[in-house]
Each structure stands twice: as structure tokens, then as C-alpha cells.
Amino acid sequence: MVTIRSREWSVLIIYIITAVLFLVSLCADRRKTSASLKVALRRFTRIAPSFLVMLILVAVVLSLIPDQLLIRVLARESKWSATLAAAGLGSVSIMPGFIAFPLCGLLLERGALFMVLAAFSTTVMMVGVATFPLERTYLGTPLALIRNMVSLVVAIIVAIAIGFCFGELP
């Protein structure tokens, strides 16, 4: 008998919701749905080569980093220190989402918790330590600091919520 784990159930539910919403869109306006699929396909074919190259580079880099090091940093016994380490790493990293999210998938396969991956991916997208000088130029120092601090707090809240959702926290 085949059993489906909770992670697989959540992915299956997302696929079902996507299919239902696609059918609703198709029934509502077939032309708009078709046009949006064409735009999506054009954008995908434009980004696919660089996405593939970056995915290969991430895989090569991850294969060079010892599993024990990744697990020691991102899959520690202490969920909190792993989550904070991931938030710190994500805050100083500069990478687009199409690299960060597949990287999270690879880290998940190596034992990282969902809450750790949520902290990493959220801070990569929202917190910009490396881009702070540019933000300071356009927003001013106080506003850039506030934006980054609020983003960091939101990322930690998201990580905690994900931890509860996936049963990693009591």
C-alpha cells in the first residue's frame, strides 16, 4: 500500500487548487486565459536558459559543500539557532528567487526544516543588507533601516508560522 506523507499532500492540494482555478479562468474567459498562457510561455522560454545555468551552478556548489556542514548550519538540533542562522544568511545573500527556491528544495532534501527554509527564502527576498547602500540613497537611512528591520521581523514570524503549520513547533 502506498502512503502519502503530509508534505506530498500539501503539494497535491496546491496542484488541485491550481487546476480548479485554471478551469474557472478558462470558463470565465477562454481568450484571456489563452493569452495569459502565451505570455507565460514566452517569459518561461526567455528565463529558462539562465534558470537552468543557475540551477546547475547551485547544484555544483552544493555538491562541493559537505553535507555535514549544511546540516550543521541549517538542520541543527536547535530549530531556533538554525532558523536564525538561515535568516542571517538570507539577509546578506543576493540571489533571485529562481535560484533561492530551487536551493531551498535541495536543502530540504538534505534535512533542513521548513521553518528554516522559510526564514532563508523570506529574508533573501525581503531583507537587503547588501543592497542597503542603494536603498539608503533612494529612501534615506531611517526609512531603509526601518524597512529592513520590519522585513526581518516579518520573515521570522513567517518562519514560526510555517513551523507550526508543518508540525515542527508544538
Q: Which three cell numbers stand for residue 140?
A: 534615506
Alpha-carbon distance of 7 to 21, in angstroms, equals 21
pLDDT at 155: 96
pLDDT at 91: 87
Structurally, the chain folds into a number of domains equal to 2
Task: Write out pLDDT tens, residues 83-132.
Answer: 998 898 888 877 777 778 888 887 888 788 899 999 999 998 999 887 78
In this structure, are 143 and 89 located in the same domain?
yes
Q: Are 79 and 113 in contact (CB under 8 A)?
A: yes
| pTM listed for this prediction | 0.63
pLDDT at 8: 75
Q: Which three cell numbers stand for residue 158?
A: 513567517
In this structure, are 47 and 91 located in the same domain?
no
pLDDT at 145: 94
Task: Write out pLDDT tens, residues 17-37.
Answer: 999 999 999 999 999 999 999
Q: Which domain holds residue 120?
A: 66-170
